Amino acid sequence: MSSDNPLLRLADSTELPAFDVIRPEHAEPAIDRILQRNREELTALLAKDTPSEWDALIGPLETIGDRLSRVWSPISHLFSVCSTPEWRGAYNACLPKLMEYGLELSQSKPLYQAYQALADSAAYPGLNAARRKLIDNALRDFRLSGIALPEDQQQRFKTISMRLSEIQTKFEENLLDSTQAWSLLIDDESRLAGMTESARAAARAKAEAKQQQGWLLTLDVPSYIAVVSYADDRALRETLYRAYVTRASDQSDHGRDHDNAALMEEILSLRHEMATLLGFANYAELSLQAKMAESPDSVEAFLLDLAERARARAQSELETLRAFAEQRDGLSTLEPWDAAYYAEKLKEDSLGLSDEMLRPYFPAPQVIRGMFDLVEQLYDIRIEIVDDQPVWHDSVTVYALKTPAGERFGLFYLDPYAREAKRGGAWMDECRGRRITATGLQLPVAYLVGNFAPPLPGKPALLTHDEVTTLFHEFGHGLHHLLTQVDEASVSGIRGVAWDAVELPSQFMENWCYEHESLSLFARHVDTGEALPDALLHKLREARSFQAGMATVRQLEFSLFDLRMHRDYDPALGGRIPETLARVRDQVSVMFPPAWNRFPNSFSHIFAGGYAAGYYSYKWAEVLSSDAFGAFEEARAAGQSLINNEVGRRFRDTVLARGGSADAMELFVAFRGRKPSIEALLRQSGLLETQEAA
Nearest to 648 by CA among 628, 665, 663: 628
Helix axis angle for 296-329 and 577-588, nearest 10°, is: 70
Confidence label for 17 from pLDDT (cuts 50, 70 and 90): low
Superfamily in which the 6-106+108-144 domain is placed by CATH: Endopeptidase. Chain P; domain 1 (1.20.1050.40)
Window from 246-255, 320-329, 449-458, 540-549 with minimum mean pLDDT: 246-255
Q: What is the C-alpha to C-alpha distance for residues 390 and 654, in angstroms, rounded to an integer? A: 34
What is the pLDDT averaged over residues 272-301?
96
Domain range annotation of the chain: 6-106+108-144, 182-258, 261-352+547-615
Confidence label for 67 from pLDDT (cuts 50, 70 and 90): very high
pTM: 0.87
* Residue among 474, 557, 622, 633 flagged as catalytic: 474
Query: Quick check: 2 pLDDT over 60?
Result: no
Residues 6+ apart with CB under 8 A from 275: 281, 282, 283, 285, 286
Q: What is the C-alpha to C-alpha distance for residues 253 and 250, in angstroms, rounded to an integer? A: 8
Residue 645 CB neighbour total at 10 angstroms: 14
- DSSP bridge partners of 400: 384, 411
How confident is the model at residue 128, as a pLDDT?
94
| 326 carries an active-site annotation | no
How confident is the model at residue 682, as a pLDDT?
87
CATH annotation of 261-352+547-615: 1.10.1370.10
Nearest to 355 by CA among 450, 457, 455, 467: 467
Query: Quick check: 18 pLDDT over 80?
Result: no
Between 191 and 353, residue with greater pLDDT: 191
3-state secondary structure 14-66: CCCCCCCCCCHHHHHHHHHHHHHHHHHHHHHHHHCCCCCCHHHHHHHHHHHHH
Query: Quick check: 433 pLDDT over 60?
Result: yes
Residues 6+ apart with CB under 8 A from 457: none
Residue type present at position 289 = Q
Cα atoms found within 13 Å of the Cα of residue 33, Cβ hemisphere only: 19
How confident is the model at residue 516, as a pLDDT?
96
Q: What is the C-alpha to C-alpha distance for residues 312 and 298, in angstroms, rounded to an integer? A: 23
- List, for residues 318-364, the tens digit of each pLDDT value: 999 999 999 999 999 999 999 999 999 999 999 998 888 999 999 99
- List, for residues 145-190, the tens digit of each pLDDT value: 999 999 999 999 999 999 999 999 999 999 999 999 999 999 999 9
Contact indicator for 518, 629 with CB cutoff of 8 Å = no
How confident is the model at residue 693, as a pLDDT?
46
- DSSP bridge partners of 570: 574
Contact indicator for 167, 267 with CB cutoff of 8 Å = yes
Cα atoms found within 13 Å of the Cα of residue 585, Cβ hemisphere only: 13
> What single string gives the DSSP state of each residue in 415-442?
EEE--TT--SS-EEEEEE--EEETTEEE
Contact indicator for 441, 102 with CB cutoff of 8 Å = no
Confidence label for 487 from pLDDT (cuts 50, 70 and 90): very high
Residue 3 CB neighbour total at 10 angstroms: 8
Q: Provide the mean pLDDT of the chain.
A: 93
Helix axis angle for 24-47 and 85-106, nearest 10°, is: 10
Task: Find the distance separating the first CA and the last CA of the chain, reported in whole Å.
Answer: 70
How confident is the model at residue 689, as a pLDDT?
60
Residue type present at position 685 = S
Confidence label for 546 from pLDDT (cuts 50, 70 and 90): very high
- DSSP bridge partners of 410: 401
What is the pLDDT averaged over residues 605-619?
93
